[in-house]
Structure 1
Amino acid sequence: MTPRDDDAPGTGLDEESLLARYRDAEPADLQRWWSWVERRGTPLIDPASGLSTFLWRAPHAADAPEGLEAVHVHVNRVTDKERHADGLMRHVPGTDLWVRSLPLEAGLRASYGFKFPRADAAPPSGPPSFDSYDTRLDPWNPLPPLADRGGHGLSVYRGPAAPPQPEWESGARQPVRGRILHEVRALPRDAARDVVRGHWLYLPDPAAVPEAEPLPLLTLFDAETWFGSAGLPAALEAAVEAGRLRPLAVLAVSNTARLDRIECLGANSEFLREVAGEATAWATRRAAEAGFALAGRESRVVAGQSLGGLSALIAALELPGHYGHALAHSPSMWWTPDGASTPRDMGRRTGEDWVTDRFRAAPAGDVRVQLAVGDREGLTLPRLDILRGVLLERGWNAVSATYGGGHDVAWWRGALLDGLEAALGRGPAANG
């Protein structure tokens, strides 16, 4: 049973209250606190102040040889980049308690983890490592992590008014009943460079599919995330069981490294044609071997996030015969073909972005485009609003949505199911 907040030792769950209450606390009092935290779960949201408090347990380096000099809680687009100092936790003297309270919006979903820099270390710079995690999970967070690599990974902050994600939070704990096929193969452009990449195909449980009904097909980028750590197949099955989605197949292609991802997903027309052609043909063959037919263009969705979101937009523009729907989440509006641009350039750029110019110069297509962005994504918000305006002006069927969060799988995964529901319709359990 989860105890009420007023069951906690003392009152006040914010940083200042905890610093005052537990400074040089007696061991028994401190142990009662940690026992309550283990039962209660973290982060703590103080009903009095509204602050969200993150905790870590370890002695300070001044008190024990194995102690820590500093602890940083790294919350996506909250305590990263120029806001790094906001995540430095405070040690409660005479204890093993580190605390940090942050004023977070009630509707926020964000990934986070803990790092242990030297006290005098400079803030990190540059992009994160490819498909690896240098943050430690929150050991008391009751929600399933976004990624778990033996204690390293990403935990999920869920504000009290954040949109629900039951498919990811409870559905992720269920075994997958469908089939997950994985082959390491080379696309034609890969073969010339002696490169191979993972091809993933999810096929639903045949018992969930009405007889002789072709399966809608979702094509995704960044398979190493969606199949490797995010647990997409289990979430899809939970959504189908709840009647939110129809059973569908998923094709996803992985990247081999960070530079490979930049090259392939940076509006690379050749790569996108090969995914729509050769990779989809592979998925069609493997689905047929399992007794499934894949539906035609009107029930085919291409979706991506960040550079993958840019790729979904270019696929809608250049490959309208292959996809009926495109979901672009936090697309990289800063990207330019010369490869010299970075996200920081959006603040110095005048005029429209490269991808917006592409749509302004092209005739309207009949691919239905869904755009989504996090409310903590800074200049991407107005840039995406300009793109939506151009799409509508040029005659595209386009909608947009804003989610509480940053540049983050924590809300992308919710937007993905929202987008699939809007594109493909609800499943039979909900309709009947």
Structure 2
Amino acid sequence: MTSRSRPILAGLATGALTTGALAAPLESQRLEALRQTLSAPGAASEFWAGVKVSGAPLIESRPDGSALVTFLWRGESNREVELGWPVWTADRRENHLQRLAGSDVWFKTVRLPAGTRLSYQLAADPKRGAPGDRAAYRAGLVAALAPDPLNPRRWERSSVVELPGAPPQPWVAPRAVAKGRLATSVFESKALGNRREVTLYSPPGTAKATPLIIVFDADRYLSSIPTPTILDNLIAAGAIPPVTAVFVANPTRESRGGELACNPAFADMLAYELLPWIRARASVSDDPNKTVLAGSSFGGLISACAALRHPERFGAALSQSGSFWWEPENGKTPPDAAGWVARQVQAQDRKPIRFYLDAGLLEANGGSESILSTTRKLADVLRAKGYEVRQVEFAGGHDDLAWRGTLSDGLIHLLGDAR
């Protein structure tokens, strides 16, 4: 797994922020007002009393529709507090909360675009392990991450920021509709020499051959992104036809990066082993235009790569925040060049594939090699080649909370007319 396939979990020691007269004003007007009055008895207690009523984080609207969002932590004895959120950064210290000197107030202020929706956690004093042992530190950090105790809005084990204008996610909650059936089997690939769980979703009430969706990272799309529920709701509402879905698990955490990083052997396995295996167990269309590959991060990357390798079998790719920054070890190019996948598209004749590509506005860190930038470049190259492509940018980061909403948009776009 790469550092860009999950939210970055940051942390080094932090210092207190000076309250001296020469210090620059804080971005947050509420925190600046507190800083100016800290010498008054009870100022910090009064601030925390207000937070208890309004909740955290602090949200201060800007004239352009964006907002200053200030994450908070209350603690006098902590040595450090760290923010785990779905925004990649090369410098881990960027995710540290600072302590307002002379107080128990820890804070980090960021500017977020209108309509942002994201999940986050906080870690106070994570265990570091031996100096320089990144694996031990990461393990300690993950163990320390927890929901924000000052924020009443929760999702799974995370807290939620949702700014005004965040798009609705109407398909994720269970409804009183007919439900599809789930069955999990073990699939063995002779070509790859491994075994994995594969979960088959069969739609309710149909005997016809249906469109097929193959979804990567099964654990994610069967839980945090509740795809079976989303499919039940979309089918019941007539937004898409009845579909069969297959959720493909990773044999191990380590195998994910090797298989999903545009691995041609994995793409061949999908075409020559998994697809016949599915067709022996479910009535699915043999029309490539009704066969969709779908996933996020590395799963979005392999969705595009496998379709480009086997357009005779997979005619549509749904990529959520695809890792199109990826380059093979011998394929690095100047920073302003299109990414490796885009270069393959440029070098080949157009193929009968439709694309849905999305990426978050908060996935811009990394400049020309960020997920947002490389997704834009790929979309431009696809359009120039004459491909049908829909590119969507949402106000969020590398986050299941965002993807659980945009997944339905991609499915409707690619399958809404597949009848």
Q: The TM-score by the shorter chain falls in which range?
A: 0.7 to 0.9
CA distance in 1, matches of 2:195, 2:310: 24
CA distance in 2, matches of 1:176, 1:144: 28
Query: Which of the residues 320, 338, 341 maps onto 1:329?
Result: 320
Superposition map of 1:33-72 within 5 A = 33=50, 36=53, 42-47=56-61, 50-56=67-73, 59-61=75-77, 68-72=78-82
Superposition map of 1:329-368 within 5 A = 329-338=320-329, 348-349=334-335, 351-368=337-354
Superposition map of 1:302-317 within 5 A = 302-317=293-308
SS in 2 for 1:320: coil
- In the alignment, is the contact (CA less than 8 A) between 2:225 and 2:403 conserved in 1? no
CA distance in 2, matches of 1:25, 1:332: 49
1:73 alignment counterpart: 83
Deviations along 1:53-77, whole A, 9 cap, x unmatched? 33445x432xxxxxx3222222222
Deviations along 1:341-380, whole A, 9 cap, x unmatched? 7xxx67x535333222211222111111222222233323
Deviations along 1:172-206, whole A, 9 cap, x unmatched? 6989933222223322234x3xx3222122223x2
Shift in CA distance, 28/307, structure 1 to aligned 2, threshold 3 Å: closer
CA distance in 1, matches of 2:296, 2:68: 30
- The total of aligned residue pairs comes to 378
CA distance in 2, matches of 1:31, 1:350: 47
Q: Percent identity between the aligned chains?
A: 30
SS in 2 for 1:219: strand
Shift in CA distance, 125/284, structure 1 to aligned 2, threshold 3 Å: same
Supply the AA of the counterpart residue of 2:170.
P
- In the alignment, is the contact (CA less than 8 A) between 2:84 and 2:95 conserved in 1? no
Query: Which of the residues 108, 122, 128 maps onto 2:116?
Result: 108
Query: Which of the residues 294, 310, 313 maps onto 2:284?
Result: 294
1:222 aligns with 2:217: yes
1:137 aligns with 2:147: yes
Deviations along 1:219-249, whole A, 9 cap, x unmatched? 1111121114332222333344454333322
Offset at residue 113 of structure 1 (A): 1.1
Supply the AA of the counterpart residue of 1:296.
D
- In the alignment, is the contact (CA less than 8 A) between 2:311 and 2:351 conserved in 1? yes
SS in 1 for 2:314: coil
- In the alignment, is the contact (CA less than 8 A) between 1:303 and 1:327 conserved in 2? yes
1:290 alignment counterpart: none
CA distance in 2, matches of 1:229, 1:421: 20
Offset at residue 419 of structure 1 (A): 0.9
1:416 aligns with 2:407: yes
Offset at residue 103 of structure 1 (A): 2.2
- In the alignment, is the contact (CA less than 8 A) between 2:226 and 2:404 conserved in 1? no
Offset at residue 420 of structure 1 (A): 0.6
CA distance in 1, matches of 2:175, 2:144: 24
- In the alignment, is the contact (CA less than 8 A) between 2:319 and 2:358 conserved in 1? yes
Shift in CA distance, 184/390, structure 1 to aligned 2, threshold 3 Å: same
Shift in CA distance, 296/19, structure 1 to aligned 2, threshold 3 Å: farther
Once superposed, what is the RMSD of the aligned Cα atoms?
Answer: 3.9
Superposition map of 1:238-317 within 5 A = 238-287=233-282, 293-297=283-287, 298-317=289-308
TM-score normalised by length of structure 1: 0.73
1:186 aligns with 2:188: yes
Moved more, 215-224 or 103-112: 103-112
Supply the AA of the counterpart residue of 2:354.
R
CA distance in 2, matches of 1:128, 1:284: 42
- In the alignment, is the contact (CA less than 8 A) between 2:87 and 2:397 conserved in 1? yes
CA distance in 2, matches of 1:123, 1:34: 37
TM-score normalised by length of structure 2: 0.75
1:369 alignment counterpart: 355
Offset at residue 406 of structure 1 (A): 2.8
CA distance in 2, matches of 1:17, 1:27: 11
Moved more, 21-30 or 383-392: 21-30
Supply the AA of the counterpart residue of 1:253.
V
- In the alignment, is the contact (CA less than 8 A) between 2:177 and 2:236 conserved in 1? no
Shift in CA distance, 139/31, structure 1 to aligned 2, threshold 3 Å: closer
2:382 alignment counterpart: 391
- In the alignment, is the contact (CA less than 8 A) between 1:240 and 1:427 conserved in 2? no
Shift in CA distance, 187/104, structure 1 to aligned 2, threshold 3 Å: same
CA distance in 1, matches of 2:303, 2:138: 23
2:94 alignment counterpart: 85
CA distance in 2, matches of 1:88, 1:28: 19
Offset at residue 162 of structure 1 (A): 2.2
- In the alignment, is the contact (CA less than 8 A) between 1:56 and 1:98 conserved in 2? yes
2:18 alignment counterpart: none
Moved more, 42-51 or 354-363: 42-51
Supply the AA of the counterpart residue of 2:57.
P
1:406 aligns with 2:397: yes
Shift in CA distance, 351/237, structure 1 to aligned 2, threshold 3 Å: same
- In the alignment, is the contact (CA less than 8 A) between 2:315 and 2:353 conserved in 1? yes
- In the alignment, is the contact (CA less than 8 A) between 1:243 and 1:427 conserved in 2? no
CA distance in 2, matches of 1:424, 1:385: 23
Shift in CA distance, 136/212, structure 1 to aligned 2, threshold 3 Å: same
Shift in CA distance, 85/396, structure 1 to aligned 2, threshold 3 Å: closer
2:230 alignment counterpart: 235
CA distance in 2, matches of 1:226, 1:215: 20
Offset at residue 134 of structure 1 (A): 5.7
- In the alignment, is the contact (CA less than 8 A) between 1:24 and 1:93 conserved in 2? no
Supply the AA of the counterpart residue of 2:99.
R
